[in-house]
Structures are given as structure tokens and as C-alpha cells.
Structure 1
Amino acid sequence: MSETTIAESVPTRPKSQWGQVLAWASWDWGSAAFNAVMTTFIFTAFYLTTDIFGGADYTSQVLGWCLGIAGVLIAILAPVAGQRSDHSGRRRLWLGINTLVVVLLTGSCFFVLPEPSYLLLGCVLLALGHVFSELASVNYNAMLLQISTPKSIGRISGIGWAFGYLGGIVALLILYYGLLSPEVGFFGISDENFKYRVVALFSAAWIAVFSLPVLFAIPENKADPTTPKIGFFASYRELFRTIARLWQHRRHTLYFLISSAIFRDGLAAIFTFGAVIAVGTFGFAKGDVLIFAIAGNVVAAIGAFSAGYFDDRLGPKTVIVISLIGLLVSAVVLFFSSGKTIFWIFGLLLCLFVGPAQSSARTFVGRLAPRGGEGELYGLYATTGRAASFIAPILFASFIAWFGSQRFGIIGIAIVLLAGLLLLIPVNRPAQA
């Protein structure tokens, strides 16, 4: 079956402007404060899922259920958000609006007091943050095609992911040495629980500051004047017609969207629950987790940056398949192992393979996106990804509930990765430009 690819559907674009590339990647740098600081390594692992709120097993289940519900909301909203930004020519505007909401939700986590009754508030704020972060990324990912050429899309996508990991490193270092490690941190703050609440304010400011460059450097996408404007509910009818067209004429694009929905949910779960498992199952102290987080982000950045090179030469499917196999092997070893040394070795291998899988999944879509439909296809990418985003959190929570141990949550995540790999194998490779 013939697939329309980026090389076929988009006229030759001018050489990438590296100032715009760096401004675009700055958004990834800023978003690390939500992904790494809030939901992975500090606020969630050290504060929200601790004994203060009810213990690791209980709080992990509540967080898992909330993120699962967030996935359903993203599945409903993301494709229409991308479609409407394409049609309206307001991609940059909606990137700014959704990012602002993430900033406000992140800052609101300051009001999550160290009492069990505030657990649900914290989980809901983080879940909503995931929703609006994903909606923002629909427009952000579509901008990739505005600043890249068919021959450079893999490399530029890898730069974006690498910036995200490096931004996480810098943010974590600032927070650890300036706020969390000293007995008295920034502004004379000494109360431990209050420090974690201040982390939320720092993260909100970090996201806001580093999200600004892309809003000034990348021009607004132009709407197609021949495309009629449609209402919100009519957008869903158009969405179903788009899916029908993919099924009839570009079936392997649809196959990829489905397979990537599964494996990307597993990738997200690794970052969401990785630090929680390190503390609750492998006995990491807070300082150990932060050191691991910094090392893990360095390794992930190297993996993502390297992925761009191999993506442009071997194609994104090869990079994704190798990465998923590496992730599965590492997860299985961790499940049957104990001790910090084993977690250091195979946890870092997880970080090494996550970045390439994420980056090449994004370029896979970019190589398939038709001109004028980038946002809609990336919206479907987000939707199919988040339509399945309840699977890993729910399996993670369910396996803990069934077996009474957080360790078994690893199996839930591994099952999702394996399913995504098996569904990806028969998908046709996109044509290389």
C-alpha cells in the first residue's frame, strides 16, 4: 500500500534556521520541570507518594488511577485541538495558552499540604497538568515541520528531546543543591515539606521562562483559506472522516498510530513511576534518587541526540524496535533483581533507550504528515497515544493491588511495551527523504 510521506507531500523547504531550532528546543528544556521535577523525581517520588499521604502502595494506586483518567481526557480532546489549530492558523497561540495552563496547575501544587486529605488534590493537579501539557505538545510537535527539512527532521527532533533531558538535569541540580540538600535552602527555607511545595513554584517559573523563546521565534502557521471553518462538535465528525480516509488510503499510518499509542504509554510510565519504584522497591534514599535522576537524564540526552543521527540514516522504525527490545530486557532484569547496584545498571539502560524511542516516534509521524495536516496528524498521534495512556497506569496500579507489592507494577509496564513492539513490527517503514 502506498503511503503519502513528508518527502512527497511537502515542497522543498529552506535550510533549517538554527536559531529557530534552539528556540523550539527551549520549550522542551522548560517542560522538563513538569516531567522530571514534578511527576518523576521530586514532587511525586519524595512528597506525594510517601507515608505522609498514605504510603507508597496506596498513593501509587491513586496516582495511577488519576493519570489513567487524564489519558481518557487527552484522547477526547487532542485530535480536535490539533485539527483546529491547523485550520485556524493559531498553532503558536494554542501552544502558549496550553503552556500557561500547565504553569498555573504546576504552581497550584504549592497548596498541596502534607496531609492525607490533600493526596487527591495533588494527583488531580498533576493529572490535569498532563492533559494540558499533551495538548500543548500537539502544537509543539507540529512546529517541528516548520523548522526542519525531510533530511534533518530526525536530528532536530533528537535535539529537542536532548534539550528536555538536559533541562531536567539543570533544574534538578539547582533544586537539590540550592533547596533540598542544605539544612536551610533558598530564602531561608528549612521545613522539609515546605521545600517540596516550593519546588512546585520553582517548576512553574521554569516552564514559563523557557517556553517564551518559541513563542517569539517561530512564526504562526498560516491557515488554508480554502478550508471552511467548522464548529467544535463538527470537528469530531471531521475527525472520524479523517480516520476513515486513513483506513482506506494510508492504512499503515493508522497502524503506526495504534502501535505507538501502546508503546509510548509504556515509555511515559517508566518516567512517571520509575523514581517511585526506586524509592519504594529498591530502597533508594532521596539523595540517591536525585543523583540517579541526574545521571539518567545525561544518559537519556545522549540516547536522544544519538537517535537523531541513526533516525536520519536507518529510519525511525529500526531505532524504535531496538529501543523497545532494550527496554524490555532491562525491565525483566529489574523485576527479578534487588539492590541499588542492579537498579543503577539497568535503570540507566532504561534511560538510554527511552529517548531514542520517543524521538523517533515523533519523526515517524513527521515523515508521514501531509502538508496542511501536520497538527491534525500530531493530534491523532497524541490521541492514540493518550487514548491508551490509561493502560500502563491502570496495569501498574492493578498489578500492585493484585500482588500486594509495588514491584509487580514493573510487570504491568513491561506488558505494555511488549504489546507496542508486537504491533509495530508489521508496520511499513516511512519513506526516507
Structure 2
Amino acid sequence: MALFPSSALNPGVRKREVFGWVMYDFANSGYTTVVITAVFAAYFVGGIAKGAPWGAFAWTLSLSIAYAIVMLTMPVIGAWADLRAAKKRVLMLVTAGCVLGTAALALTAQLQGTAAVALAMLLIIVSNTFYSYGESLTGAFLPELATAEGMGKVSGWGWGFGYVGGMLTLGLCLAYVLWAQAQGLPAAHFVPVTMLVTAAIYGVAACATFALLPERAQPAADAGRVSWADSWRQLRQTFEQARAFSDFMWLLACTVAYQGGVAVAITLAAIYAEQVIGFKPQETMILIFALNSAAALGAFGFGYLQDRIGHRISLAGTLVAWIAVCVIAGSVTTKGGFWCAAAIAGLAMGSSQSAGRAMTGVLAPPRQVGEFFGLWSFATRLASIVGPLSYGAITWMTGGNQRIAIFSTAVLFVAGLLLLLPIDMKRGRAAALAAG
């Protein structure tokens, strides 16, 4: 952490606490990289669903159900955690849920037909729900650690460490897959092992977060009498006060649009690479490994750049890059051309994710951080329903034409760019501080 400036941290915050925080991104990124992007997604469509035209839709439907659950419940969980100063305790519980759900995915290879599809969909819903809870809760710690001027750097470090964790997990899985294929073992043998490896790394790495990251928030005076109904009332009050945070609300709308496109890249990249471009499973894993390398560089580099030139301008630049990715990926027919699109996507992914989270931290009222990050989670999960589900539906309706679906994804990034224009970060930050 020698390169990390102390000036970016709030008074009293130690670098070891920041390290504990970024280690959660390191821990949970293996889940998205291996389960959602590189390995299990392609195995579900090609292995469990046997390449049926409805396979991509069933996969995106499973994810969408999980995101819908999170979308409806996370704001209330955030409000409840704020009132009780319980973010860390809840984070520990949801981490255990995701780790166990991920490990249980190994059981799907023992079943066939409808039973395998049903179990895989159920476990994806469970594990991805808990993963999403954890992602939102860890984001709510950001304003406790970083100053408004340093949130880009801290958020960038988190995303950067996350991609390193994802690459480590994927690298270990790739090594095993290559060995297993050399022994003539089928995907039904090596995919379950990759699920167990991913779950183990998630659980072990998250322990660093639980050991080093303190809960700095203080419970409300009447927290002992706070109920879930109180959390719902507080959430409703937040929506009623939304006009006072117009810039934050524009950010939520922008998030729904562009994160829908990012969700397509995360959840369907491996499927597109194998079924449209012709990648083999090990080639897909190498591709995702390289994509994560580029994403890590994007997160680290843009974390510093966005604090210098502004979060809004940085995010706008990444959205233009995403539009180019969709056009290139939908047009190319060679593996080399798709590699070009993946490299740009990696850089754009890390920077756009970092900028969006930092902007949320800047625009959230300090006393309602968990609740506002819950609203941000609401927006990202809605996006994760709109993007992949529309992609899956378009693919199904066009008889499996994923090129049309990837071209349509560019519309989401164009919409995000347009919704970004009205946001004024200085005005939004002033409104947040005025609210306390």
C-alpha cells in the first residue's frame, strides 16, 4: 500500500483497514469471474442445457430472478444495517451464504436433464443473491474510509484488487482444467472442481476483511427497538426526499442503463465467445483472464485519473469505449478480432465500475450511506435484469442470433451516456452534505 496516499483517507483511518476493505473485492471477484463469466455460464448453456436455443435465456432468467430479489430487499437491508450499525455482521452472513451456494454448484454435474437444469438454476439464484448482498454492503464502507476527493482512488484500488483476485482464482482453475483435459476428463468432472476452488478462495480471502475492517458506524439511539417495518418506513422517506438529491437520482437512472450493458459482458462473454466465435473452453478462460488483466489496469489507472479530471468525465469516456466494444464484437468473425473487443472491454469495465461506485459515495448523504448504496444496488440489479434478460430474449426470438443481441446492447450504453449529461457532481455533493 506504499503507493496509496494517506490524504485520500478520512481522519483516523489506517491503511490496514483499507487493505481489509479491498480484500473483499479480491475475495468475491472469483465468483463473478469463474461462475458467472468464464466457466459455469458456458457449462450451463453447452453442458447442462445441451446447447438448446433456450439455454442462454434460462441462464439469464436465473440471474434475473436473483437480481430481482436483491433489488426488492437490499435497500431495506441497507437501511436496517445503518440503524443498527450492523454492516459487517450482515456481510459475514451473506458471504457464508454465497460460499456455500457456490460449493454446492459442484453437485449439478451428478444430475441429468431437467433435474440438472432446475438445481443449477436454483443454486445460481441463491449464490448470486448472497453475492449481490455482499457487493452492496462492502460498497457502503467506502465513505467511512475515503474522503470525497479520494473515493476514486480507494474505489479503484478495490476494483483493481478484485480483478487480481478474479485472475488468481481463474488461473488456478485454468491450470486444473488444462491438466484434466490432458487426462481426457470431461467438463462434468473438472467444472465441479473449479466451483470448489472458487468457494474456498472466496471464504479464505474474506477472512482478511472480517479481521481488518472495523464497523465505524454507530447504532441509532433506538436501534434496539428497530424493526424491519421501521426500515421500510425509512426507505420510503428516502424515496420521498429523492427530489432533494436530483443528481443522485440521475446517477441511478444512468446506472440502470449502462450497467445493463456491463452485465451482458459479465454474464454472456464466455457464451458468445464459444458459441458465436468458436472459442474452446480453455481459450475462453485465457480470454477472460486477459480481460481481467485489462480491467485491473483500468480500475487502478482510472481510479487516480477520475479524481484528477472528475468522475463524470471519466465515466463518459468509458461509455464511449463500451459502445465501440459492442460494434466490434458484433461485427468480427475471427478470434483475433474478438480479442481486440475484449481488450477494450476489460479497460472499460474496470474504470466504469470504479467510477460508478465512487460517484455513489460522493453523492450519498453521510448518515444514510448504507441506505443509498442499497438504492445503488437496486439500480445495478435492475440493470442486471434488463441487460442480460433482453439479450437472452432477443437471442431466443431470433433463433439463436447473438450478433443482433450484442448490437442491441450498444443502445444501453448510449442511453447511459445521455443520462449522465444532467449530473453536476459539485451540486450533488453539496446536497448530500447539507442533508448530513
TM-score by length of 2: 0.91
Q: Does 1:33 align with 2:33?
A: no
- The 1:90/1:224 distance shift into structure 2, 3 A limit, reads closer
- Structure 2 residue corresponding to 1:335, chosen from 330, 345, 363: 330
- Structure 2 residue corresponding to 1:370, chosen from 365, 371, 383: 365
Q: Does 1:388 align with 2:386?
A: no
Q: Distance in 2 between matches of 1:325 and 1:129?
A: 32
Q: Does 1:326 align with 2:318?
A: no
Listed as ranges, the matches of 1:51-66 within 5 Å are 51-55=47-51, 57-66=53-62
Q: Does 1:176 align with 2:174?
A: yes
Q: Distance in 1 between matches of 2:177 and 2:67?
A: 31
In the alignment, which residue of structure 2 is the partner of 1:355? 350
Q: Which has the higher helix share?
A: 2
Would the aligned equivalents of 2:295 and 2:349 in 1 still touch at CA under 8 Å?
A: yes
In the alignment, which residue of structure 2 is the partner of 1:420? 416
- Structure 2 residue corresponding to 1:107, chosen from 91, 97, 103: 103
Would the aligned equivalents of 2:84 and 2:220 in 1 still touch at CA under 8 Å?
A: no
- The 1:283/1:84 distance shift into structure 2, 3 A limit, reads same
Q: Distance in 2 between matches of 1:115 and 1:379?
A: 38
In the alignment, which residue of structure 2 is the partner of 1:164? 162
- The 1:54/1:430 distance shift into structure 2, 3 A limit, reads farther
In the alignment, which residue of structure 1 is the partner of 2:5? none
In the alignment, which residue of structure 1 is the partner of 2:45? 49
Could you tell me how far 1:227 is from its partner in structure 2?
5.5
Would the aligned equivalents of 1:56 and 1:280 in 2 still touch at CA under 8 Å?
A: no
What letter is aligned with 1:42?
A: V
What letter is aligned with 2:297?
A: I
Q: Distance in 2 between matches of 1:139 and 1:48?
A: 29
Could you tell me how far 1:136 is from its partner in structure 2?
1.3
Would the aligned equivalents of 2:31 and 2:166 in 1 still touch at CA under 8 Å?
A: no
Q: Distance in 2 between matches of 1:125 and 1:423?
A: 35
In the alignment, which residue of structure 1 is the partner of 2:78? 82
Would the aligned equivalents of 2:248 and 2:364 in 1 still touch at CA under 8 Å?
A: no
In the alignment, which residue of structure 1 is the partner of 2:191? 196
What letter is aligned with 1:325?
A: V
Q: Which moved more, 1:123-132 or 1:423-432?
A: 423-432
Q: Does 1:313 align with 2:308?
A: yes
**In the TM superposition, what whole-angstrom CA distance separates every residue of 1:313-346 from its partner, at most 9, and x where no partner exists?**
1111111111011101120122122110110011
Would the aligned equivalents of 1:262 and 1:388 in 2 still touch at CA under 8 Å?
A: yes
What letter is aligned with 1:385?
A: T
Q: Distance in 1 between matches of 2:419 and 2:222?
A: 34
- Percent same amino acid among aligned pairs? 26
- Structure 2 residue corresponding to 1:140, chosen from 135, 138, 141: 138
Listed as ranges, the matches of 1:117-128 within 5 Å are 117=114, 118-128=116-126
In the alignment, which residue of structure 1 is the partner of 2:434? none
What letter is aligned with 1:22?
A: F
In the alignment, which residue of structure 2 is the partner of 1:7? none
What letter is aligned with 2:64?
A: G
**In the TM superposition, what whole-angstrom CA distance separates every residue of 1:280-303 from its partner, at most 9, and x where no partner exists?**
111111121121112111111000
What letter is aligned with 1:149?
A: T
- The 1:123/1:406 distance shift into structure 2, 3 A limit, reads farther
Q: Distance in 1 between matches of 2:186 and 2:391?
A: 32
Would the aligned equivalents of 1:91 and 1:220 in 2 still touch at CA under 8 Å?
A: yes
In the alignment, which residue of structure 1 is the partner of 2:151? 153
Q: Does 1:262 align with 2:275?
A: no
**In the TM superposition, what whole-angstrom CA distance separates every residue of 1:359-382 from its partner, at most 9, and x where no partner exists?**
010000111122221101101110
Any idea what SS the aligned residue of 2:425 has?
coil
Q: Does 1:230 align with 2:226?
A: yes
**In the TM superposition, what whole-angstrom CA distance separates every residue of 1:355-406 from its partner, at most 9, and x where no partner exists?**
1110010000111122221101101110122133211122101110221112
Any idea what SS the aligned residue of 1:181 has?
helix
Would the aligned equivalents of 1:79 and 1:380 in 2 still touch at CA under 8 Å?
A: yes
CA RMSD of superposed structures (Å): 2.0
Would the aligned equivalents of 1:91 and 1:221 in 2 still touch at CA under 8 Å?
A: no
Q: Distance in 2 between matches of 1:110 and 1:291?
A: 22
Q: Does 1:72 align with 2:72?
A: no
Runs (5+) with no aligned partner, structure 1: 1-11
Would the aligned equivalents of 2:263 and 2:383 in 1 still touch at CA under 8 Å?
A: no
Q: Distance in 2 between matches of 1:16 and 1:368?
A: 21
What letter is aligned with 1:145?
A: P
In the alignment, which residue of structure 2 is the partner of 1:24? 21
In the alignment, which residue of structure 1 is the partner of 2:129? 131
Greater length-normalized contact order (CA 8 Å, ≥ 6 residues apart): 1
In the alignment, which residue of structure 2 is the partner of 1:6? none
Q: Which moved more, 1:114-123 or 1:279-288?
A: 114-123
Q: Which moved more, 1:400-409 or 1:188-197?
A: 188-197
Aligned length: 417
TM-score by length of 1: 0.91
- The 1:150/1:216 distance shift into structure 2, 3 A limit, reads same
Q: Which moved more, 1:66-75 or 1:349-358?
A: 66-75
- The 1:220/1:391 distance shift into structure 2, 3 A limit, reads same
Q: Distance in 1 between matches of 2:112 and 2:27?
A: 29
Any idea what SS the aligned residue of 1:390 has?
helix
- The 1:130/1:414 distance shift into structure 2, 3 A limit, reads farther
What letter is aligned with 1:107?
A: A
In the alignment, which residue of structure 2 is the partner of 1:9? none
What letter is aligned with 1:103?
A: V
Q: Does 1:92 align with 2:88?
A: yes
Q: Distance in 2 between matches of 1:192 and 1:66?
A: 21
In the alignment, which residue of structure 1 is the partner of 2:284? 289
Q: Which moved more, 1:373-382 or 1:124-133?
A: 124-133
Q: Which moved more, 1:137-146 or 1:122-131?
A: 122-131
